[in-house]
Chain A
Amino acid sequence: MKEVSITSGANLMELYRNLAGDYPKFFKMDTLCKLGFLLTEMLVADDTDRFRQREDRAVLVFSREGSLADDCHYADSMADFPSPALFVYTLPNIISGEIAIRNKYAGETSAYVIDGFSRELIDGLVRQAFQDPVTESAVVVWADCPSDDKWDARGWLVKREDLA
C-alpha cells in the first residue's frame, strides 16, 4: 500500500512546484486543502488515464480539528467584511471536494472529525466505504492543521484487494 506524508512546516509552495505546478487554484486553498491536494498528487501521480472521470475512487478525509485554522482567518475577516473565499474553506470537506475536482473523482467523498489519529479506527471506517457498489480504491487523508505552520499530514491509497 502506498503511504506518504508531509513534514510539519515544510515549504508547500516548493512541493507544489515539484509535484504539480499546473493548477493555479492551489494558491487560493487554505493550508488544510493544500496538504490534502499535495498528498493526493504524491499518491496518484502514476495512475494511468489520470484525469478521466471515475466513480470507483473514494476520497476519505480525517482530522481532529477540522478546518480550525481557516475558521479563525474567516472569523477575523468578519470584523471587516466576511470573506466568501475564506468562508468556503471553513468546511472540512472542501479538501475532499478539491481533490475530487482536480482528479475528476465522482465516487464517494467524506470528511470525519475523530478524537485524534487512530489507524485502527480510520481503517475500520475506510473499510465501510468499500460496501459501496462501485468503490474499488480510496484516497485516505489524515490532515490535522491547527495552525498554518504546524500540521500532521499523511495519506495512503487503499485498494479493494488490500482489505482481504
Chain B
Amino acid sequence: MSKRVCISGCGVVSAIGVGQRETLLSLKEGLKGLAPARYLPTTHTELPLGEVKLSNVQMKALLGIPDSRTESRTSLLAMMAVQEALQEAGDVSAFRPAFISGTTVGGMDISEQMPPEQRHPEDWDCGASSQAVADYFGFFSQVITPSTACSSAANALLLGARLIKAGRCEVVVAGGSECLSLFHLNGFRSLMIVDGEPCRPFDVSRAGLNLGEGAAYVVLESEEHALARGAKPQAYLDGWGNACDAYHQTASSPDGEGAFLAMTKAIQVAGLKPADIGYINAHGTGTPNNDPSESRALQRLFGAQVPPVSSTKGLTGHTTSASGSIEAVFCILALQNGFLPGNAGFSTPFEGGIVPIREAMPAPDVQHVLCNAFGFGGNDTSLLISKAL
C-alpha cells in the first residue's frame, strides 16, 4: 500500500482549448470559451454554452475515423483527450491498462438525433460510449464507466488511483467525457439553474450555471512503474475522498457536509494537513445553492485560513460528468507552470461566501491542491494533486 500514484500523461479538450497548450494559454490569460450554440441544435440560442470548438466531422478527420461512421460526440471528445494523454505518457499498451471513463450523457446525442421510431438508446448508453473509445485504441483490458452525474470523472480518477495502490492494475487511463445534449440542457433548464448570462461563481449576483462540454484523461501508474519504464511523473494523485451529502437529490446541504467530508478524507489519504493545501479548484457552479454550501465546507475545514480558491467554470461552463478530470488537468497545468487560474465572472462576494482569486496569479511555491467535483445525489468527491519536482 506504499506505492505513490503518479500521473504520467494528461489530455484535455474543453471550450477553452483542444490540448494542453491551448488550455494553458486560456487559463493564464483568462480567456473564456462561452458563446452561443454553434454545434448543438438547440433553439435556445440566447444561452452561453461552453462548446468545444470542433465539429464532429473535424474531430473524426483528426482521429482518422471515416465520416460515414456514427460516433457519439462524447466518444469523439474522449478519443481526442485520451490520445493526448497517451502521447505524453509514452507507449503503455503492453501493460493492458484499464479504461475508467466517467459519463452520464453517454451517447444521448445520437439517440436524440434519431427519429423516435428508429431510436435504440440501449446501443448508445453510457457503457457503449466508453467501449467505443476503448475499441478505438484497442489495447485496454477492461472498461468501467462511473456514472455519478457531475462527479463521474473525479470518481474515475479515485477508482483508478485505488486500483494502482492495491496493485490490481499496472496502468490505468482514467477520466471522463461529456458532450452537450438537448436532453440535459433541457433537464438543467427544467431545474431552473441555468443562467442566461455568463455564470458568476461565488458572486453575489450569481444566478445559475452555463453548461459546457469536454473530456480529460490521465494516465495513472505507480511512481516506480513510471520511472522503471523511463516515463516522467507529471504530477501525483496523492489523495482522494468521496462522501455523500445525504441531504437532497439536487441541492447541497447548508453546512456542506458531503463536501467537507470528501475534502477531509482526501487530505487524510494523502497523509497531509489542511495547512499543506495551497489552492482549491472549487466545484463552484455559480448556482445560488452550490456556492454557499461549498464556501461553508471550506470554512469548516480551513477555518480563517482558507487557501486561494477559484472556480474555472466561468471559462469553460460546467462540463458536468467530465468536470472532475478537466479541472484536475487544469490543476496539473497550474502546478507545472507555477500559477493559479482565476475565477471569471466574480466581482462581489455574498454574505458568508469565500472570496476567490479574480485573475490568474503566479504561485510558484504551491505543492498540493484540491480539486472538487460534486454531483447530484449528494455525490461529493475531492482529489488531492501534488506537484512533481
User: Could you list which residues of chain A lie within 8 angstroms of chain B, going by C-beta atoms?
Assistant: 53, 55, 59, 64-66, 68, 71-72, 74-75, 78, 81-84, 87-88, 90-98, 100-101, 104-115, 121, 124-125, 127-128, 131-134, 146
Q: Are the CB atoms of A105 and B244 closer together than 8 Å?
A: yes
- Contacts A83-B190, A88-B376 given: A111-B248 contact, CB under 8 Å? no
Residues of B within 8 A of A104 (CB): 246
Q: Is B147 an interface residue (CB 8 A)?
A: yes
The 9 closest A-B pairs by CB, nearest first: A97-B377, A87-B187, A113-B145, A93-B148, A82-B186, A84-B190, A100-B244, A128-B162, A100-B246
Q: Are the CB atoms of B244 and A108 closer together than 8 Å?
A: yes
Residues of A within 8 A of B111 (CB): 75
Q: Are the CB atoms of B244 and A125 closer together than 8 Å?
A: no
Partner of A68, one of B125, B249, B375, B379: B125
Partner of A106, one of B145, B249, B257: B257
Q: Is B159 an interface residue (CB 8 A)?
A: yes
A42 shortest CB reach to chain B, Å: 20
Q: Are the CB atoms of B268 and A96 closer together than 8 Å?
A: no
Residue contacts A-B, CB under 8 angstroms, 14 given: A71-B121, A75-B112, A75-B121, A81-B190, A82-B189, A84-B191, A90-B104, A108-B243, A109-B244, A111-B147, A115-B127, A115-B131, A131-B1, A133-B269
Residues of B within 8 A of A110 (CB): 146, 148, 155, 159, 242, 379
Q: Are the CB atoms of B112 and A92 closer together than 8 Å?
A: no
B75 shortest CB reach to chain A, Å: 14
Q: Are the CB atoms of A113 and B241 closer together than 8 Å?
A: no
Q: Is B183 an interface residue (CB 8 A)?
A: yes
- Interface SS majority for chain A: mixed
- Tell me how many residues of B have a C-beta within 8 Å of chain A: 58
B192 shortest CB reach to chain A, Å: 8
Q: Are the CB atoms of A72 and B121 closer together than 8 Å?
A: yes
Residues of B within 8 A of A115 (CB): 127, 131, 143
Q: Are the CB atoms of B248 and A101 closer together than 8 Å?
A: yes
Residues of B within 8 A of A97 (CB): 244, 246, 249, 376-379
Residues of A within 8 A of B108 (CB): 71
A30 shortest CB reach to chain B, Å: 12
Please measure, in the bound complex, the distance between the C-alpha atom of A136 and the C-alpha atom of B250, giving whole angstroms: 27
Considering the complex, give the chain A residue whose CB is closest to the CB of B242: A108
Please measure, in the bound complex, the distance between the C-alpha atom of A56 and the C-alpha atom of B334, giving whole angstroms: 34
Q: Is B231 an interface residue (CB 8 A)?
A: no
Residues of B within 8 A of A74 (CB): 183, 187
Partner of B145, one of A68, A72, A95, A114: A114
User: Could you list which residues of chain B lie within 8 angstroms of chain A, going by C-beta atoms?
Assistant: 1, 104, 106, 108, 111-112, 121-122, 125-127, 130-131, 142-149, 155, 159, 162-163, 165-166, 168, 182-184, 186-187, 189-192, 241-250, 257-258, 261, 265, 268-269, 375-379
Residues of B within 8 A of A88 (CB): 191, 249-250, 376
Residues of A within 8 A of B1 (CB): 131
Residues of A within 8 A of B191 (CB): 84, 87-88
Residues of A within 8 A of B247 (CB): 101
- Contacts A75-B183, A146-B122 given: A91-B190 contact, CB under 8 Å? no
Q: Are the CB atoms of B378 and A90 closer together than 8 Å?
A: no
Q: Are the CB atoms of B183 and A106 closer together than 8 Å?
A: no
Residues of A within 8 A of B145 (CB): 112-114
A74 shortest CB reach to chain B, Å: 7
Please measure, in the bound complex, the distance between the C-alpha atom of A104 and the C-alpha atom of B245, giving whole angstroms: 9
Please measure, in the bound complex, the distance between the C-alpha atom of A59 and the C-alpha atom of B142, giving whole angstroms: 23
Please measure, in the bound complex, the distance between the C-alpha atom of A92 and the C-alpha atom of B268, giving whole angstroms: 29
Considering the complex, give the chain A residue whose CB is closest to the CB of B108: A71
Residues of A within 8 A of B159 (CB): 110, 125, 128
Residues of B within 8 A of A146 (CB): 122
- Contacts A55-B261, A112-B146 given: A107-B190 contact, CB under 8 Å? no
Residues of A within 8 A of B104 (CB): 90-92
Residues of A within 8 A of B377 (CB): 91, 93-98, 100, 109
Please measure, in the bound complex, the distance between the C-alpha atom of A74 and the C-alpha atom of B191, giving whole angstroms: 13
Partner of B268, one of A53, A100, A107, A133: A133
Given contacts A74-B187, A109-B242, 6 further A-B contacts (CB under 8 A): A75-B121, A90-B187, A93-B377, A100-B377, A106-B257, A128-B159
Considering the complex, give the chain B residue whose CB is closest to the CB of A53: B246
Please measure, in the bound complex, the distance between the C-alpha atom of A163 and the C-alpha atom of B130, giving whole angstroms: 30
